[in-house]
Amino acid sequence: MGSQRSPNLMIDSSRYPRLARIQTPDDLRTFDESELGAVAAELRAYLIESVGKSGGHFAAGLGVIELTVALHYLYQTPVDQLVWDVGHQTYPHKILTGRRDEIHTVKQKDGVAPFPKREESEFDTFGVGHSSTSISAALGMAIARQMEGDERKVVAVIGDGAMTAGMAFEALMHAGGMEPEPNLLVILNDNNMSISEAVGGLTKVLGRATGSRTLNALREGGKKILGDKKNNPARFVKRWEEHWKGMFVPSTMFEEMGFHYTGPIDGHDMPALLSTLKTLRASKGPKLLHVMTTKGKGYEPAEGDQIGYHAVGPFDPDKGLVAKGGVKKPTYTDVFSDWLCDAAAAEPRLCGITPAMREGSGLVRFSREYPQRYFDVAIAEQHAVTLAAGMATQGGKPVVAIYSTFLQRAYDQLVHDVAIQDLDVLFAIDRAGVVGPDGATHAGNLDLSFLRCVPNMVVMAPADEAECRQMLSTGLQHPGPAAVRYPRGSGTGVAAGTDLSTLPLGKAQVRVEGRRVALLAFGSTVPAAEAVGRALGLTVVNMRFIKPLDRDLLLSLAERHEAFVTVEDNVVAGGAGSGVAELLSASAVLRPVVHLGLPDAFQHHASREDLLAEAGIDAAGIRAALLARWPDLAGDADTLSAAG
């Protein structure tokens, strides 16, 4: 990436005299410890400036500036291994590890990845994007090193939001009970946030750690009154404080798991961080350091609106985020949000469930209007799905609002707990298909393949906003498991409507009657396919249902057309098009089928438009594929336009 550097994007050494000297952590280690506070201040200012230009994950990085500097200063990275959970917080890490002058390209095509990525840098030890994997990965690294007799250190940094997932506790339990003990440091970065507010019992436990005003006031007041630590009253209070702390601090929980617990300490206090980490670096076995930080630290608007500043578009740091004027087309998430409230008004048994994605999945309004029927289960996708299954056994109508990429984490529960028992659960799957700038970890490119093969499932994909609403109502009314998958971002501009009408199960819609070739389009690919079909005089079908497919229509089309072309924003392997080919084969119908969809590869981060074009499923790509297979269609189109 260094070759892409242009002089005008080089760092301003007059404004950032220390940061300008840091290309790698080796450069950072040349500074005196007393200067690290100033390095952190420059890094914070540079991060605010660069994300202001590019957009990207923001508040989380500001919260770990001091921690990032301290870790790279004290540990010999990349020899020592740092594993960051999720990776929202790693822009400061990327700036200190050779990507300072490219950080403004984050999330852009051929730019810096928004999450740690092994192929991007040797300092990115483990590729992440989904939460709660860091302790498992770091433990695996520590075990592998110890087996080789390698003394290098391994550190996992995990947030309190990510700590709510079962996987984190599975790893803690394993690490704490091992013989020989693994040499592992887990840093719990506690800012009382995930992407939404952190929820659940663990949050309450962690909150007690430093949230007790009484404890803090007594401690501070005691220091003033008692002065010298060596006198008897002071010693008594210190002992009493330790007992008191035991009631409030989660040390007991982690100690019981087999970890040596330290903390909580102020994660913005550089001297405290450095001295504590030095002590921990020298000690063996599994250790947990609990640091308290503020998400958005050092940038007042972000501290005041941690959710709003979690991920941002480009903005002016002096003005903060400014609401964009003009009327924007509703997103599919907005359509779901409105539908959920309307459906809840008509159906008292409806409950909405989200794994810590209230804002992203469009549940804000529902959570306010129906607080008793709203369940945020924290980062616990598996639990979310089985919770819904439990509700459904008692006549409930649960709706699980979840991103396609996160549903992957609960696949066993979808199969085992919902589908096998044929339970009445509706999956509202957001960010399906091409997602774009967040890269492969957040792509929703597999869901049609992994849902289609599950017995009892009904799977739908809308072509526009109105259809999205109808499909959600159809799924809610259907007595078994159903899924509606819809894309990120704005819809087509079609009014969604306000009613709760349904669609006939498994029936497609012929959009254009043409000849020779039938274009079978699924979900968000319909508008592009329709435009191409009209131009070339072909039949275009909005398939609507991936499962069950409209068998009668497909067999009827096969009689009148010489070939089919399927178009979907899902991988071709095992996707909706595969279902069409299977149906035709089972019905002994021999027709050529061309499958257009996403590649058998993990797409990199780029805009949604770029990725659709690369995959050949935008209008230009669909047209090119048709003419490559049937060049004479171009002549047919000329005849049509001349006749028109």
For 169, 171, 554, the CA distances from 164, given in Å and listed in that order, are: 8, 13, 47
Tokens representing 517 are 């070739």
Render pLDDT for 551-580 as a digit per residue (tens, 0 to 9).
Answer: 999 999 999 999 999 999 999 999 999 999
pLDDT single digits (tens) 75-107: 999 999 999 999 999 999 999 999 999 999 999
How far is the C-alpha of 364 from the C-alpha of 361, rounded, in Å? 8
Which pTM was predicted? Answer: 0.89
Contact 450, 314 (CB under 8 A): no
Mean pLDDT value across residues 403-410? 97
Query: How far, CA to CA in Å, does 524 sit from each of 179, 240, 329, 482, 597?
Result: 53, 63, 15, 19, 12
Among 181-195, 252-266, 364-378, 403-417, whose mean pLDDT is lowest? 181-195
- Rounded Cα distance between 103 and 152, Å, is 29
Q: What average pLDDT does range 234-262 have in this prediction?
A: 67
pLDDT (tens digit, 9 = 90+) per residue, 22-73?
999 999 999 999 999 999 999 999 999 999 989 999 999 999 999 999 999 9
Q: Report the pLDDT averaged over residues 182-190.
A: 95
Which residues are marked as active site? 295, 381, 409
Q: Which of 563, 555, 553 is nearest to 516 (CA)?
A: 563
CA atoms 179, 183, 185, 186: torsion sign: negative
Tell me what pLDDT residue 202 has: 67
Write the pLDDT tens digit of every residue in 98-138: 999 999 999 999 999 999 999 999 999 999 999 999 999 99
Cα–Cα separations (whole angstroms), residue 247 to 215, 223, 285, 467: 11, 21, 25, 54
User: With the C-alpha atoms ordered 325, 331, 335, 338, is the resulting torsion angle positive or negative?
Assistant: negative
d(CA 81, CA 94): 14
pLDDT confidence band for 252 (50 / 70 / 90): confident
Angle at which helix 465-477 crosses helix 332-346, to 10 degrees, equals 40
How far is the C-alpha of 355 from the C-alpha of 381, rounded, in Å? 6
pLDDT at res. 232: 56
pLDDT at 10: 82
For the chain, give the mean pLDDT. 90
Of 221, 227, 401, the C-alpha closest to 410 is 401
Overall average pLDDT of the 332-359 stretch: 97
Nearest to 114 by CA among 55, 159, 71, 62: 55
Q: What is the pLDDT of residue 327?
A: 64
pLDDT of residue 214: 42
